[in-house]
Structure 1
């Protein structure tokens, strides 16, 4: 079982690049907003699939479907940031994709690792799974009064998918923007050195 970790991690790291390549073939620079919308639709579809299976009896098939949905949502966030912010510097796209691919791993670990909830226990807490948006989502669930009511598994699953997408997107975007600033300053120093 432990040997399956390595191909799983390889898939998590490679899937954003595969999604970027697939979507990149469908749309060029002029259609970037439409391409980004398409990536968002892929993420929404994957999140919906995971939400449908939320609360289903645990099993390899259900666990695999939810994991694949989570990976697709996080890969979609990397691809969105890649298309929106990857051109901030020359050759910045590859670095943006690579950094985003690595960045999604801790977020996915936070989603998949945590205390299991026993039947009759308190409802799950977003803050245990979402490092940054979890507190906000918990406050929202408390304000709406959905925590612990029937069907909360679906609401919780949808919140996890949305939070995962947003956190990976923002994280990758920040990295892309920082890399763009650093690369531009390095290019500026090279140009000055040639003079």
Structure 2
């Protein structure tokens, strides 16, 4: 069976992550709310045969859980997960951590967070079945003016963190904090 990756939030800013994982031999299960966004992404990437869409909303915990259980039943537990979920969906994220951790297969889970996560402590988790790491997306300076990262820069940062297996990785800069874009 092929290596299996989960990407949540991949139909937009993480589409290059999906494409790269496919090129590395993964079958990617991409979760999103909109089939239209997924279809558009599929037109823009190579190796679309290696991607399956999971239409689910992580704000709907029952739908989220059922969709992930089905993906695992169909393609096996995830070897890798790159997960962009908003902070107010913490119940679904905690369920995902527990679901992966109870399986015997080892999974690398990269939680992708926005700039405010750079102000929070992070311990992660490293067990026999799960290594939970964090990627923080912040900002860059261009001609002394701060701007948010582009989708391409976000994907580059996520892929770099995955290649380094970094427990905590920051894509962009966090200081000076008061200069971050509004």
Query: TM-score scaled by structure 1?
Result: 0.28
Larger gyration radius, structure 1 or structure 2: 1
Q: Name the one with the larger strand percent.
A: 2
Q: Name the one with the larger helix percent.
A: 1
Query: TM-score scaled by structure 2?
Result: 0.29
Greater RCO, 1 or 2 (C-alpha within 8 Å, sep 6+): 1
